[in-house]
Amino acid sequence: MTLAPRPEQQRLIELSAADLRPRLDEALELYVAAMDYPPDTVRQRAPMWLAHMMREGWRCVVALDENEALAGISYGYRGAAGQWWHEQVRRGLTARTDAEPSTVDEWMRDYFELTELHVRPDAQARGLGEALLRRLVGTVDSERVLLSTPEGPTRAWKLYRRLGFQDVLRHYQFTGDPRPFAVLGRVLPIEANPVATTD
């Protein structure tokens, strides 16, 4: 198997919604491969991704390999009341007895939701995820960035800890998904050498 080029040999570019729509199937196939989901997940996720593209502050950064194929994709948008993820996280935080109302408001007031960050399996463990994340959030004007990721010792988890993401909500079950998730966040911007957090 031939390894994908290192991040510095790949081209990171920002795509508009109009740019991504014609490549949506390719992007979703990358997502399914990276997450090891069943192939029919592509059809299930397409309407959601299309709806996300319409949200305020939506941004997308992709990595293209030497053949102009997608090697990685990241996107997100400004979080706001009424959005499914926002309401789920707020409910989870409010339900925790140790969460002060001021803490909930602080995290949920002005944030960029890092919705998707995926790297093609043959391009993983080479720094591309970090490059995509930094480029995606590098120019957003929100105070914070929030994300959710399945609990467990994954490459994604290690990346977020290395970049200084801290616990916001742990072992939370989103409606319709039996897996426990962690909601992680940090203040923006992400400096060149952030102080890593420990688990």
CATH architecture for residues 7-187:
3-Layer(aba) Sandwich (3.40)
Mean pLDDT score across all residues of the chain: 91
Residue 2 confidence class, pLDDT cut points 50, 70, 90:
very low
**For the chain, where are the E strands, in sequence order?**
11-15, 59-64, 70-78, 111-119, 144-150, 166-172, 181-187
The end-to-end CA distance of the chain, in Å, is 34
How many residues would you count in the chain? 199
Distance CA 167, CA 63 (A): 28
How confident is the model over 143-164, as a mean pLDDT? Answer: 94
Cβ count near 91 (within 10 Å):
12
Per-residue pLDDT for 5 more than 70? no
Task: Sketch the domain layout of the chain as residue ranges.
Answer: 7-187
Amino acid 1: pLDDT: 46
Tell me whether residue 126 is exposed, middle or buried, using C-beta atoms within 10 angstroms of its C-beta: 0 to 12, 13 to 18, 19 or more: buried
Catalytic residue numbers? 160
How confident is the model over 123-136, as a mean pLDDT? Answer: 95
Amino acid 177: pLDDT: 87
The C-alpha angle with vertex 87 and arms to 182 and 39, in degrees rounded to 5, equals 60
